[in-house]
Structure 1
């Protein structure tokens, strides 16, 4: 984690030391006395340090740091709420009355229509200007006042309406999505002040599940902290169901929990995926192909995704399991009945075949190309632009590694696919996907046979540098190291400019990659990159030798890409 202001970085470190050494329960007091240091950067430093101490075997301190990060996330939410309250104070009386009038009207329509979208969404569309942070705070204040004043039955009825409205606005696609989710979170939190676990176990569980889903899709706040809150809410919901058996609700929550673990940022990635596999498998036990074919097939697809990403176990076996799950899902989800889902699973299946280690490699790549093309029969650049672009990118990867056909033509096909993808996905809308496609395009140009080699290498370097504008060491360290290696290869082969300068640039790139690829965590990548670095270092060392000797050495030098 790099912080530009070293003085502030030291202040962060001092605060972290104080938080770790203070008595249990005093963390919030320490944070209150250091309000000027409470920000997203502090959370990122804590997460980075937690990973470091975890890798050193100190799980206790690592978990303590993660807990503090969650606490800081909550403190940031509190600060945000304070800002919202100040905004409310700046509203005049008429403005407050307009917000409150709209709130009461929308809750009344929600109750009378029994949550019918056809009745509620038009009203929301007519009042998009009121669905903002001020509305969220007025809703919070109104909820606290009204729910505390009403008798038990009235409070229960109001809480049920809040849950319904919270679900509706979280699914409302117009307006500001971030504000919509904040409103949903307030609704569910207010309802939970009424639906106590022991008295209303079903409502408690349902609302905790809704709250978890709202946090999972939350846009505001720290993403890692939001996923942790989602997991905590899902686990709270499941605790109740141990006492009140509700099989279908249990299955639904297990499904949500699995999804949260799959996308979890904190903790060991390998363990998170194992947790996801366990939860998806348990969720699958609640469905059969005969009684709930679509749900059964969707979970099969998700299990395929997890096994495709799985770190533990044998890579080859994991990919075979992924292919098995995808094929099972495709037995139910067909192009005729569910074309878009079918295309998604075909794309997933293509990825598994493209990376498959068993069977004939050439045939696996042909299978991948075939299913990508089938997916593109459904996805078009107009109807499903992002999905179309991602499938084009995958198709490009398959053509770039294709063993059948003419190599030069395959690389041209790959370049065309990457270019097509980049006509649709933009850095602004899909930053990471855009960057990785730029990296893939760079690889294709670096290995291109047709065209001018001089220009091909310049295009490759330009594409890698574009990718590195988004993929940084802090945000995506492994991908960043991979692109640095690729950039090193391009400079190693570069024709333009002076050779000594190009060799120096290659060495810089390889050294950057090695700042991530250490011997312990990435032994294979470390060894390979060390080989690259030694190779260019050797070339540099020979640059001052007599020309005849240098020619002999260079002619015998082997360099592997």
Structure 2
């Protein structure tokens, strides 16, 4: 790690020295500064390295003539990605990233490539979604940015971006409080978006993304308001089982625990015989109890005390339900919509 840190610092220092070299033209200096900044930013080992990338973008802007509006917009957009990547518990760097994209986008829209515009819109959407999480802006702003990006990043040409956008769109839809007349529509749109992402993400080529999307799809189906809850829960079970083809206790213990907890919630609300819902769900509750207990052990082992305590409460309810041999539908606690 020390070697990587020294290499990144060396590249940064060399970039600053290169600015002083008279034999290198201004245009070449600007391009080199951008390339070095992007290289430092790709695999940063510390927040300081990302800040160094920001400084190089700023140097590039100082050297870039005001007349080169498209080049300047491209630098501004790259600077936005650097601010976006800086770890922060607050919103300061997020607002700086937002400002960079909003400066760059009008120029990119007018003079840049469609892919550049779509990438900036996608990155802006991620920033706006994070700011919405802090209740700083309406979540609808990030949804609009994602939808604009999808005009270019369509399924066949750009499958990776298409999948990322649909996953993030779905999580944005689900983050809106479900207390108005459009709630059911947003839930349906979230399910559609997860399914759209899964059209281009598969188990063999993208196992971790596939598992995440299947887990999220299961949650969306399980908690959707529907006149067909049994059918939705059966589809959710299938999605969780697909996720568990990748997520294992050995390789991904916390993700595995999240998914088996979600599966247990689903089992808890399914009748043993879907054709005869009135027959009870003693068998499903027994399966759910085993999964909850396993998840509880994992959360305890990894210090996830909040999740462990939630499961303790649910297990107490299940013991009561099993004691009566009958149980109605109960709400559980879902562990996690995940965003790329």
Q: Please state which band the TM-score falls in when normalised by the shorter chain.
A: 0.7 to 0.9
Kept in 1: contact 2:51–2:82 (CA 8 A): no
Cα separation, 1, equivalents of 2:254 and 2:56: 32
Greater relative contact order (Cα < 8 A, sep 6+): 2
Q: CA deviation digits over 1:367-419, x for unaligned, max 9?
A: 12211111111122222222123212222222233346522222112222222
Q: Give the structure 2 partner of residue 372 of structure 1.
A: 146
CA spacing shift, 1:474–1:288, aligned 2, 3 Å: farther
**Number of residue pairs aligned between Structure 1 and Structure 2:** 308
Q: Give the structure 2 partner of residue 471 of structure 1.
A: 247
Cα separation, 1, equivalents of 2:110 and 2:240: 37
Q: CA deviation digits over 1:537-559, x for unaligned, max 9?
A: 332145335x8xx98xx89x885
CA-based RMSD: 3.5
Q: Give the structure 2 partner of residue 502 of structure 1.
A: 284
Q: Give the structure 2 partner of residue 394 of structure 1.
A: 168
SS in 2 for 1:426: coil
**TM-score, normalised relative to structure 2:** 0.74
CA spacing shift, 1:255–1:395, aligned 2, 3 Å: closer
Kept in 2: contact 1:273–1:306 (CA 8 A): no
CA spacing shift, 1:388–1:507, aligned 2, 3 Å: same
What runs of 5+ residues in structure 1 fail to find an aligned partner?
A: 1-66, 68-227, 262-271
CA spacing shift, 1:505–1:381, aligned 2, 3 Å: same
Kept in 2: contact 1:393–1:421 (CA 8 A): yes
Cα separation, 2, equivalents of 1:559 and 1:466: 21
Q: CA deviation digits over 1:73-124, x for unaligned, max 9?
A: xxxxxxxxxxxxxxxxxxxxxxxxxxxxxxxxxxxxxxxxxxxxxxxxxxxx
Q: 2:60 aligned with 1:278, yes or no? A: no
Map 1:443-482 onto structure 2 (within 5 A): 443-473=219-249, 475-482=251-258
Q: 2:187 aligned with 1:411, yes or no? A: yes
Kept in 1: contact 2:233–2:270 (CA 8 A): yes
| Cα deviation, residue 306, structure 1 | 0.8
CA spacing shift, 1:558–1:440, aligned 2, 3 Å: closer
CA spacing shift, 1:558–1:481, aligned 2, 3 Å: closer
Q: CA deviation digits over 1:199-219, x for unaligned, max 9?
A: xxxxxxxxxxxxxxxxxxxxx
Cα separation, 1, equivalents of 2:291 and 2:141: 35
Q: Give the structure 1 partner of residue 277 of structure 2.
A: none
Q: Give the structure 2 partner of residue 334 of structure 1.
A: 109
Structure exhibiting the larger radius of gyration computed from Cα positions: 1
Cα separation, 1, equivalents of 2:265 and 2:12: 51
Q: 2:154 aligned with 1:347, yes or no? A: no
Cα separation, 1, equivalents of 2:252 and 2:111: 38
**TM-score, normalised relative to structure 1:** 0.48
